[in-house]
Structure 1
Amino acid sequence: MSATVQEEFKIGRAISAEEWKALREQSLYGLPPELQELPRSEILLGYQKRSIRARLLHEVTFIEKSRRTGLTWAFAADAVLVSAAERVAGGMDTFYIGYNLEMAREFIDVCAMWAKLFAKAALDTGEYVFEDLDPATGETRQIKAFRIRFASGFEIVALPSRPRSLRGKQGYVIVDEAAFHDDLAELLKAAMALLIWGGMVVVISTHNGEANAFNQYVKDIRAGRYDYGLVRIDFDEALREGLYQRICQRKGEAWTPEGEAGWRAKIIAHYGDGADEELFCIPAEGSGVWILPAVVEANMKPDAKVLRWEMPSAFAAQPAHLRRSAAEAWLAANVEPLLHRILPDAPSYLGMDFGRIADASDIWPIQMATGMHRYCPFVIELRNIPFDEQEFILWWLIARLPRFGGGAIDAGGNGAALAERTAQRWGMERIAQVKFSVEWYRENMPKLKATLEAAGMDIPNDVEVGNDFRVVRMIDGVARVPKARTTEKGEGAAEGKKRKRHGDAAIAAALAHFASIMPVVIYVYTPVTAAGLAGGGLGSPFADESFGALIPSLRGGL
């Protein structure tokens, strides 16, 4: 892994007040004074708009958030616009479910405020009591709820956190602070029934532990098990999009980067050790091994070999023709005999984690076999190999992968040049130049984990590769490789030194998996025919000013 990736990402409460002040000042650099202020005409902040936009695009949307970001306030506005609309305009009842009575009362009060602001006709606002029947025991109990009726014929109802309260209902469901409900799974089971006739479900919450049902849903969405919308809003993101500026506007105070940095530090200090979970969307008790060793071992295949080439430092000083000859000889002796393992008709992909001196370069080819299984014929690992020879070996392999759909290459630090040249050679659309970030890991590691847990991707049966997967940890709620390297057992083959590893094979596997699901471009060649030339049809130089056409069509992965 390249040098820039070795550094720990600084996020959350690790950012000091001084650093936050500098970041906010940099964000304003070059902007005219009128654009440095949050416009008062902007009723909703960026993350509030983004959350409502996600609801418009998905039947079910989950939102993990920081405390006190005003998201319930924004969805109260959304609820009023939905329930005050006529049926032909998409109007429907809205059901808000908080985990206590005060949340229900507060939501209805905010909805009433929005109704007045929007000048929507609210015929009645108040509380009422309904009978809750438990079919298992036959017992009933009176439940207090709050509602607003609109002239449209629809209403907003704030219900208690009881799954049965949704039975027989139809409309738009908002589950607030979902992680704190007694039985979220049963509640969502009842809510999902509303989708049958065109309803919508939004699930909003701060985290409440790694094992909480809400966090399990979030992880499943990231892993691709559910086709739901997912929005993440941590404290710093809310600040960047105007949270503290809006607070200053309401208090009639002037906003400054210094003031925001001090206020941010005070809020983080107030939450103490709970700040990660309460403010930065990092579930508690989430540190430790990312994936169980048993899962890695279940995917290991004895026939998938790791082909290693390591040379002494003096090799880089040899003439180019000698280095090229050495690379060709190594390929002929080690890789060519295993080319028969490559499936001749299966789509192929590739991931490469780049290393030059401190780390190894791992090239991980995979092919999409029957049943969407990601088959790995072998893995190439290069240590202390010069840049030119790494490029030669990578391109040599790509040229021999049938139906090559795309690759993803570590483009951080020294790997940037190789990633760029490979993209220029094989197509910018087919080669992803990946600069690692917290967001990249957050979005892509759960998908790899889900595939491995389903025994859907081959891993070489190799001790060092297995250890690389064990190195990946949950750091600040995100699976990634720690800064510290691990030492391989035994001595370095080239210079008698103990070799260091930095999760190289695991990252190459993650890149290969990413390449296999990223959108690619397919080009179809339409040849010239005699009939086409004569008739001026498709493929005619008179119709297209060429003797053929490369017709691109987007494909969203296999």
Structure 2
Amino acid sequence: MTGEQPVLSRDPAALPAELPRGSELPEDHDPLAAGVLMKHQVEWIEDESDLKGAEKGRRTGITYAEALDDTLLAAKKRSEGGQNVFYIGDTKDKGREFIGYVAHFAKIVAGELAEVEEFLFEDQREDGSSKFISAFRVRFASGCRVEALSSRPENIRGLQGAVVIDEAAYHQNVRAVLDSVGALLIWGGKVRIISTHNGVLNPFNELIRESKARKAAGEVTFNWHFIPFSTAVENGLYERVCLIAGKTPTPEGKVAWEAKIRAPYGSRTAAMRQELDAIPAEAEGAALTRVQIEACMETGAPIVRWSLRDEFKNLPEHVRKAEAETFCREKLRPILDSLDPKRPHYLGQDFARSGDGSVVVVGETDAILTRRVRLILEMHNVPFDTQRDVLYFIGDHLPRFSGAALDATGNGAYLAEKAVQRWGERALEVKFSSEWYRVNMPPYIEAFTDQTIVLPRDEDVLKDHQSLAYVGGVIKVPDDMRFKGLDGLERHGDTAIAGALMWHASQLGPVEYGYQPASEATDGGAADWLCPEAAGEERGLW
């Protein structure tokens, strides 16, 4: 077996078949045949990250894909990157199933007549004592081996090679894996963590949240794959079942088949979501407590609230612009001029035209990478073009303006698009979706746990963040969560979403440009345009 892996099939027209268990594979079953691997299995195998994990639904085929990947790894010579593999399942039967896959793949893919050996694995504890664990093993001609252990060894650090933790949420202490990762990586090892969920407070779910927060901050951590049962169905699981059963797949049959799988859960929707949809149970209710939020608040940062009368939108354009200019000069300019010119600044906007507030949150990153909110602007009943002018004023006057994330959902698309046109790569249009919330809200929530965000101390801001809740497995403000602020106006978690957008913008990294100082510009007109003060004019938006 050479170090070159076979090309994995991506033929979308092929009908993949359901994966039997390790001991049930037909003699001629070839995992690399066209159409056998589903899209999410291919993506899992092609991910060569040293640290990767999968939060998955039941029977989505990731254990099968991992066994194939491990077979290819162990079959290679060490000089070509081959390694030993240690599989740690939650039950002895799971280990036997896994090693059955490996033995079959060794014969079909690697051309080796490998036998499954049952033996006692000696787990050397850190205190010098030993514990013997029942295990299964397949040896390869390369000198490497794949071992499936029946229970988690106490000294994971002693396992040099690739370590696979399957159904991690059902192990006693997933946290011990984290403590062992560094030692495993020193010698070029790999760590794979695979599991369905087992509650929102389970260490497996906490690991996912922490990993996503660290990855958003640019740190090297686990690369997570989200594989609910619905994804497997999309990728051909139903068609595979039909192929095995000798039936013809139909769109109607597909809907009925998935409904049949879900029916036994009855009213136990939380259990169904956890088992099939990779949504941890108990994931309902507030995402942040009042204590967590207040611990990240301090006095000082101003909150500016601007509410306009209905007839304002019908005033002549020059009158609207004049009133907006006066507001920006008197209310915003002193705050913006007081910002630290040495700190990068970011903004997030949750857009609204009427009813809810349209909120802009401005934050800076300080020397210890804490995001400190320096200004919150709440606009009520402010016309589109006036919001645009005010947004331009804020962004144009931010010191080291490094990024903006703006709500581009619905009516917000106009303002977000104008921001991109004005600020280019520094501005990001965000269309809210369940996937966006799933990926980007955990890092924001984690910031309150780590106290790496500072908000103004304000009752409305507090209530906005208290309204963040788990809805269908993602963190968002529930659609029906509305309340009146201290000013009597309706709120919908406005500063919480704008704050999350500001946080998101700060995670993307600044866009830096080369420039020529105005004093060195050869064309006077260009210098005056870049810096009106150089021409003796007061700098302004208009």
Q: Output the TM-score relative to the length of structure 2.
A: 0.85
Does the 8 Å contact 1:271/1:278 carry over to 2? no
CA separation in 1, counterparts of 2:173 and 2:427? 45
User: Deviation at 1:37?
Assistant: 5.0
User: Deviation at 1:160?
Assistant: 2.2
CA separation in 1, counterparts of 2:157 and 2:315? 76
Does the 8 Å contact 1:84/1:120 carry over to 2? no
Q: Deviations over 1:60-118 (max 9, x none)?
A: 11210000111111111111111111112111111111111111111111111111211
CA separation in 1, counterparts of 2:184 and 2:264? 40
State how 1:134-145 maps to structure 2 within 5 Å.
Answer: 142-145=132-135
Q: 2:263 aligns with which of 252, 260, 269?
A: 269
CA separation in 1, counterparts of 2:34 and 2:125? 48
User: Deviation at 1:375?
Assistant: 2.6
Deviates more, 1:74-83 or 1:294-303: 294-303
Structure 2 CA distance for partners of 1:469 and 1:117, relative to 1, 3 Å: same
The reply on whether 1:250 has 2:250 as its aligned counterpart is no
Aligned equivalent of 1:49: 42
Structure 2 CA distance for partners of 1:345 and 1:527, relative to 1, 3 Å: closer
Aligned equivalent of 2:540: none
Q: 2:253 aligns with which of 256, 259, 276?
A: 259
Q: 1:198 aligns with which of 173, 179, 188?
A: 188
Aligned equivalent of 1:431: 427
Aligned equivalent of 1:386: 383
- Residue 223 of structure 1 aligns with an amino acid whose one-letter code is A
Aligned equivalent of 2:19: none
Q: Deviations over 1:17-51 (max 9, x none)?
A: xxxxxxxxxxxxxxxxx965537713311111112
Aligned equivalent of 2:67: 76
| Secondary structure, counterpart of 2:300 in structure 1 | coil
CA separation in 2, counterparts of 1:158 and 1:307? 61
For structure 2, the 5+ residue unaligned runs are: 1-10, 17-32, 521-542
CA separation in 1, counterparts of 2:483 and 2:123? 62
State how 1:368-387 maps to structure 2 within 5 Å.
Answer: 368-387=365-384
Q: Deviations over 1:273-324 (max 9, x none)?
A: 2111001111111211111212221222211121011012111111111111
Aligned equivalent of 2:334: 337
| Secondary structure, counterpart of 1:370 in structure 2 | coil
- Residue 164 of structure 2 aligns with an amino acid whose one-letter code is I
| Secondary structure, counterpart of 1:458 in structure 2 | strand
Structure 2 CA distance for partners of 1:199 and 1:133, relative to 1, 3 Å: closer
The reply on whether 1:460 has 2:456 as its aligned counterpart is yes
| Secondary structure, counterpart of 1:92 in structure 2 | coil
State how 1:61-100 maps to structure 2 within 5 Å.
Answer: 61-100=52-91
User: Deviation at 1:354?
Assistant: 0.5
- Residue 232 of structure 2 aligns with an amino acid whose one-letter code is A
- Residue 256 of structure 1 aligns with an amino acid whose one-letter code is T
Structure 2 CA distance for partners of 1:102 and 1:388, relative to 1, 3 Å: same
- Residue 62 of structure 1 aligns with an amino acid whose one-letter code is G
User: Deviation at 1:461?
Assistant: 1.6
Does the 8 Å contact 1:352/1:362 carry over to 2? yes
User: Deviation at 1:526?
Assistant: 6.5
| Secondary structure, counterpart of 1:376 in structure 2 | strand
CA separation in 1, counterparts of 2:93 and 2:12? 38
Structure 2 CA distance for partners of 1:490 and 1:448, relative to 1, 3 Å: closer
User: Deviation at 1:141?
Assistant: 5.7
Structure 2 CA distance for partners of 1:209 and 1:490, relative to 1, 3 Å: closer
Does the 8 Å contact 1:348/1:404 carry over to 2? yes
State how 1:405-484 maps to structure 2 within 5 Å.
Answer: 405-427=402-424, 429-484=425-480
The reply on whether 1:364 has 2:361 as its aligned counterpart is yes
State how 1:287-306 maps to structure 2 within 5 Å.
Answer: 287-306=284-303
CA separation in 1, counterparts of 2:177 and 2:373? 42
Structure 2 CA distance for partners of 1:485 and 1:104, relative to 1, 3 Å: closer
The reply on whether 1:182 has 2:159 as its aligned counterpart is no
Aligned equivalent of 1:235: 229
| Secondary structure, counterpart of 2:453 in structure 1 | coil
Q: 1:171 aligns with which of 161, 166, 174?
A: 161
Structure number with higher relative contact order (C-alpha < 8 Å, ≥ 6 residues apart): 1
Does the 8 Å contact 2:302/2:375 carry over to 1? yes
Q: Deviations over 1:441-477 (max 9, x none)?
A: 1111111122232222221222111111111101122
For structure 1, the 5+ residue unaligned runs are: 1-33, 493-498, 531-558
Structure 2 CA distance for partners of 1:196 and 1:460, relative to 1, 3 Å: same
Does the 8 Å contact 1:430/1:520 carry over to 2? yes
Considering only aligned residues, what root-mean-square deviation do their CA atoms show, in Å?
A: 2.4
User: Deviation at 1:238?
Assistant: 1.4
User: Deviation at 1:234?
Assistant: 0.6
User: Deviation at 1:372?
Assistant: 1.5
Q: Output the TM-score relative to the length of structure 1.
A: 0.82
User: Deviation at 1:255?
Assistant: 1.7
CA separation in 2, counterparts of 1:522 and 1:141? 56
Aligned equivalent of 2:21: none
| Secondary structure, counterpart of 2:36 in structure 1 | coil
User: Deviation at 1:523?
Assistant: 2.1
Aligned equivalent of 1:108: 99
CA separation in 2, counterparts of 1:131 and 1:490? 65
Does the 8 Å contact 1:351/1:510 carry over to 2? yes
| Secondary structure, counterpart of 1:450 in structure 2 | helix
Aligned equivalent of 1:506: 496
Does the 8 Å contact 1:162/1:187 carry over to 2? no
State how 1:200-239 maps to structure 2 within 5 Å.
Answer: 200-224=190-214, 227-239=221-233
Deviates more, 1:155-164 or 1:501-510: 155-164
Structure 2 CA distance for partners of 1:352 and 1:130, relative to 1, 3 Å: closer
